[in-house]
Amino acid sequence: MVAAGGQHLISYFQAIVIGLLQGVTELFPISSLGHAVILPKLLGWHLGQDKPYFLAFLVATHLATATVLFVFFFPEWARILKGLGRSLRDRQISDDDPDARLAWLLIVGTIPAGLIGLLFEHKLRSLFASPTAAAAFLTANGVILFAAEYLRRRAPGAEARARELERSPGAETSSEAEKRLATLGFREAVGVGTAQAAALFPGISRAGVTIGGGLFVGLTHEDAARYAFLLATPIIGAAALLKLPELVGHHGDGVRGQALVGALCAGAAAWFAIKFLMRYFQTNTLTPFAVYCLFAGLGALLVFVF
């Protein structure tokens, strides 16, 4: 089936591939949007990534990813939302209520990226949503990840948090991790949250810049990843819900079935991706992802330019 203007609509096979790709790359620090722009070009698929029907298709995959994130971290979200409720009831953030403090840290971290996204998302993605630009930004994403690993050694509070982990060896509960996240300052939360806005450029990873921001303010890799995924849940979910009318409206004509298949694939891939990453970051770093982004971006640039 072909859309108006000669652009091909998405086939079910393409929906499966893009859905699986989105579910993995949204959480891996390698940019889902960048891969969604680059891979179809490399495969010779004429999908029209800047067209409304393709963006409507992506809404479903993003909503599936946000749902999986919420379900995976449901125990954390239950405590965080209860803490927020207590804070609103008492009109204060109690010093002995880390869940309430973490709730407000997530709120102040979400607001800047949300506002920037509402104001500039369409312009930035329209301006840079070309395979060549995405490849350039993917290369830049690799440099950002390398820089995050280098700068984390100088991060304020990093040594103190490392000593805290050493004092409590063995398996830890998610509530213990939340207590460490709650020690962040509100200025740090705003800074890390604002970094998410860089993901508006195709090729820059939301997870990558947010984890990197967490490392820069002294979080461990595992805590930075946990904070990044908690912070991403409302941003991805709200953005998908705001654009859901596009999928159910006329922009979704011809792609709703593919969107459902893509969403199921994205959700399944996201579940396994997050289980892997939460284990991976217990003992590993961003460096392998930095290497991948650098070489994949440069390789794609060579293909597109020459």
Q: What is the pLDDT of residue 170?
A: 47
Count of domains for the chain: 1
CB 32 within 8 A of CB 22: yes
Tens digits of residue pLDDT in 51-89: 778 888 888 999 999 999 999 999 999 999 999 999 999
Helix axes 256-280, 221-248, angle to 10 degrees: 170
In a domain, 117, yes or no: no
Domain of 267, in residue numbers: 12-73+130-163+195-305
Rounded to the nearest 5 degrees, what angle is found at the Cα of 131, between the Cα atoms of 125 and 136? 85
In a domain, 173, yes or no: no
CB 259 within 8 A of CB 59: yes
In a domain, 78, yes or no: no
Helices assigned H by DSSP within the chain: 12-25, 32-43, 52-72, 74-90, 98-128, 131-151, 158-167, 174-181, 186-195, 206-216, 221-248, 256-280, 287-305
Question: pLDDT-based confidence at 201, cuts 50/70/90?
Answer: confident
Residue at token pair 């919420």: 70
Q: What is the reported pTM? A: 0.88
Reported residue count of the chain is: 306
CA dihedral 167, 172, 178, 180 (to 10 degrees): 10
Distance of alpha carbon 100 from alpha carbon 80, whole angstroms: 6
Tens digits of residue pLDDT in 89-118: 999 999 889 999 999 999 999 998 888 877
In a domain, 47, yes or no: yes
